[in-house]
Homo-oligomer: A and B are copies of this chain.
């Protein structure tokens, strides 16, 4: 590991899962020791652990740890494991990675023989999910590393970093590797309203790793890009359509327009699992609208409302950046151009 954020880990003897409580960042670095499925469900629901890959890993580890304390017959214990998977999946019903990781745990539980050590099998499966994610982050980092020469300045949006994955992140992975290679690299982080993942999380994990980071309001991005010293923009992706259009955190599209205006290349970093060949283009991607309260206050709090009750709120979680604004895709299958995306299928 080239950094030491410890966003997730096993408790001694794999008896439970230790997570960093991300709701307390950036002011407090507090770890939670989770030993029951109920505790893990609460942690996922309350966003104490977040980021699509990381909640999949956390849920899988939580299921494995809980299996160590089950009594009864093999059949009964297997049913308990499947029940735990259902409880955890219900915490974030639209999270694709969560469902995918729990499906792997379910399949492993079902395939376990009567004599097999159920807990050992599930622990190994959770470790495999985590390790695959770490390796995926590493490959994304290596694919993007050539884009960041010594002295590079990277502009990013939201948090596609270590705090969202089991490894060194996706959009931030090339930055961590460049820093580890001794290159001077600095980062401009959009704060990312409404939930402030840029200022709360990206700025926290990067500065903790010793990478100079400057937080700006989302509305300042165009002015910052105009200054002429930004090497590239790198953002994550929630879904990549067949034609290369990308759904990502709201604000990515406006950032891409500003980057084009100032001839700054705009890259999308994502694992191949993000590529959805069944979606022909961005207009076919459904855009989730989130609760108005996120915009009526700061970070979801409405203790002191910032908009009048009489006003409507529009709060889409994502936007779509058209493929023609994207210079390349930094993936675990390498740095790809738009015409090479089919290499992400299967893989």
| Residues on A facing B (Cβ under 8 Å) | 25-27, 188-194, 196, 199-200, 203-204, 207-208, 212-224, 226, 250-251, 253-254, 257-258, 261, 295-299, 304-308, 310-316, 319-320
Known: A306-B299, A307-B203. A313 touches B257 (CB 8 A): no
Q: Give Cα distance in the complex from A193 to B21, angstroms.
A: 27
Task: List chain B residues, Cβ under 8 A from A258.
Answer: 254, 257
Nearest CB in chain B: distance from A190 CB, A: 7
| Complex contact B307–A191 (CB within 8 A) | yes
Instruction: Say which residue of B214, B217, B219, B305 sits within 8 Å of A27 (CB atoms).
Output: B305
B304 and A214: CB pair below 8 A? no
Contact yes or no, B214 A311, CB < 8 A: yes
Using A224-B314, A304-B27, A307-B203 as known contacts, say yes or no to A218 and B215 having CB atoms under 8 A apart.
no
Please give the count of copies of this chain that the complex contains: 2
A interface, by DSSP: helix, strand, loop or mixed? mixed
Enumerate chain B residues within 8 angstroms of A261, measured Cβ to Cβ: 257
CA distance in complex: A261, B134 (Å): 39
- A306 partner residues in chain B, CB cutoff 8 A: 26, 191, 196, 199-200, 298-299
Min distance, Cβ A157 to any Cβ of chain B, angstroms: 8
Contact residues in B for A219 (Cβ distance below 8 Å) = 190, 192-193, 218-219, 250-251, 254
Contacts of A26 in B (CB 8 A): 305-308
Return A87 CB to nearest CB of chain B, in Å. Answer: 31
Contact of A215 among B27, B220, B307 (CB under 8 A): B307
Q: In the complex, which residue of chain B has the Cβ closest to the Cβ of A189? A: B311
